[in-house]
Amino acid sequence: MSEKISVIYPLYETEQNVKKALECLEKQSHQNWEMLLFDARWESPDFGEKLPESVENNEKVRKIVQAHRNAAALLNDGIEASKGDYIILLPPDIYYEPELLEKYLDCFKKNEQVVLTYSDYETLQQDGTKKREGLFPYKGQVDEGFSLGFVKMYKNAAVKEKGLFNEDLDYAEEYDMLLKLTDDYLVDFVSSPEYVADTTRKTDDEDENDFTKLFSPGSSGKGAFSYLLYTREQEREYEFCFKEMLKRRDAFLTRRNEVVPYHKNDYEKMVSIVIPILNRRRFIKRTIQTILDGSFSDFEVLVVDNGSTDGTQQEVTSIDDERVRLIQHDGSCIAEALNVGIRQAKGKYIAQCDSDDEYTPDTLKFMVAHMESHPRCGLAISYYQLIDEESTVLEELPIVKHLEFDRNNILRVGGGGALRFFHKGVLEEFGLYDEVNYGNFAEDYDMVTKVSEKYDVDRVHKVLYRYRRHEDNTDVIRDPSMKIENKNKIRLDAIKRRRELVKKGIR
């Protein structure tokens, strides 16, 4: 007999189209299924009331009238009541394509180590058209920003082996289960769209705002940087699940970091600001001027040009200040340009600045003061604000503080933030930026993870950087799949390094 699938369907409001959801199951090519319909309308006067006859009288439907404190409790009750080899959730306003169950099952049949699978999907728009939502293959991602979409199928026995879903979690129950399952097992992916998500019932408040370009593709509509808008409780849950995973995988660091041994080196300058650039004539003069206008004077600005053709070089050379130097490089990537600048830098500290961003008047003063007074700090990072093309602060988004940052949680979140302010000697110790693997994206994130394994990465609690958003912003136009793959490789490589440190007793 073919494998049985238990479909868990939560009914939260009477307006849900239960009849249509059941019809999509009845059209499945794989027909060995049961529907566990949980009436969760406990805040509604309709709680427990009868449903359409086609639902109430269907022998494959088991209606369970029961309230639950959260999604984890509902899922667990569904698992306990299920008779299936596999469990799958059918959320409200989601409608399966006819071959969904069969295609999902095929993933399990191909490899017995697969315990979870998901697929691409389409969203139904207000005008009746469908929009393809392409996801990405799972390659061991450990951050919750990676999207598995709305419909996932689990191997029932594997979920039970891991102790079911954690009912102490109100937000991160599926993320927690994903991490636990992938401690030992595999996740597979169906690259064709196998369900439709009806977005036409969403309210205006739920529409994505104009700033979604800030975020890489991922879950919860905001992607890899969704955590910036988390409540404190959401952040606590995701961080807890992630750190528990690091502990299970012997990659959690607890030791006190070392003192940076570079304080007494002889440097001609205190700070070298390295700016890699390619065709940024529009912003570069304004960027440099914010540095020159600052309250700290012992610095140099190294603008490393990667072959601009729009007059960028002339803009730089027109600045009448001996502290500003143009380095003509014509290189192939950002990491290479950064490394060229660092090698020529005369400063004790290396400060990051993108060619379209800005410093505040006291940026260098506060960053130098922090580094000089914190001997274990190999990298200091400030708060930053977002600005538009005219340098106006975007009040719609909060100051980015990254208070969730620590040397373990950095492997979960999308980055360390800005301004990044390194000891030059620390950068040299770790071989400068990785030009081979992360030439044009996440080279800085890679370096932050490495530094945090030996030295402190401190937060300077002031807004000392302004990050400009505009339509030509490099981060906006980068290939999303490359961004996801680079971040994932950095995280997995860091976990491997940390496991080796733990094995050596350096934890």
Q: What is the pTM for the complete model shown?
A: 0.90
Is there a shared CATH topology between the 5-248 domain and the 269-503 domain?
yes
Using the Cα atoms of residue 223, residue 228, residue 233 and residue 238 in order, give the sign of their dihedral.
positive
Q: Any idea what the Cα angle at residue 145 is, between residues 185 and 204, rounded to 5°?
A: 135
Give pLDDT, residue 30: 97
Distance from C-alpha of 483 to C-alpha of 175, rounded to nearest angstrom: 21
Average pLDDT of 254-283?
Answer: 90
Strand 324-328 to 153-155 pairing: unpaired
CA 336 from centre of chain: 25
Give pLDDT, residue 216: 33
Residue at 340: amino acid letter: V
Provide the 10 A C-beta neighbour count for residue 459: 17
Give pLDDT, residue 228: 66
pLDDT single digits (tens) 314-343: 999 999 999 999 999 888 899 999 999 999
To 10 degrees, the CA torsion angle through 101, 104, 109, 113?
-140
DSSP three-state, residue 173: helix
Give pLDDT, residue 206: 43
Lowest-confidence segment of 103-107, 442-446, 459-463, 502-506 by average pLDDT: 502-506
Residue at 296: amino acid letter: F
CATH 3.40.50.300 fits 269-503, yes or no: no
Lowest-confidence segment of 67-71, 261-265, 284-288, 461-465 by average pLDDT: 261-265
Distance from C-alpha of 499 to C-alpha of 507, rounded to nearest angstrom: 9
Q: What is the CATH number that goes with domain 5-248?
A: 3.90.550.10
What b/e string do you get for 343-379 counting C-beta neighbours within 10 Å, with b at 16 or more? eebebbbbbbbbbbbbbbeebbebbbebbeebeebbb
CA distances from 407 to 142, 383, 391, 459 (A): 15, 17, 32, 12
Give pLDDT, residue 405: 86
Distance from C-alpha of 126 to C-alpha of 207, rounded to nearest angstrom: 12
Q: Which bin fits 307, alpha (ψ -120 to 50), beta or left (φ > 0)?
A: left
pLDDT single digits (tens) 218-262: 444 444 456 667 889 999 999 999 999 999 999 999 989 999 997
DSSP H helical segments within 223-328, as ranges?
232-248, 281-292, 312-317
Give pLDDT, residue 392: 92
Average pLDDT of 53-80?
Answer: 93
Domain definitions of the chain by residue range: 5-248, 269-503
Distance from C-alpha of 453 to C-alpha of 397, rounded to nearest angstrom: 31
DSSP three-state, residue 256: coil
Average pLDDT of 405-428?
Answer: 92
DSSP three-state, residue 33: strand
Give pLDDT, residue 213: 33
Q: Compute φ and ψ for 21, nearest 5 degrees.
A: -60, -40
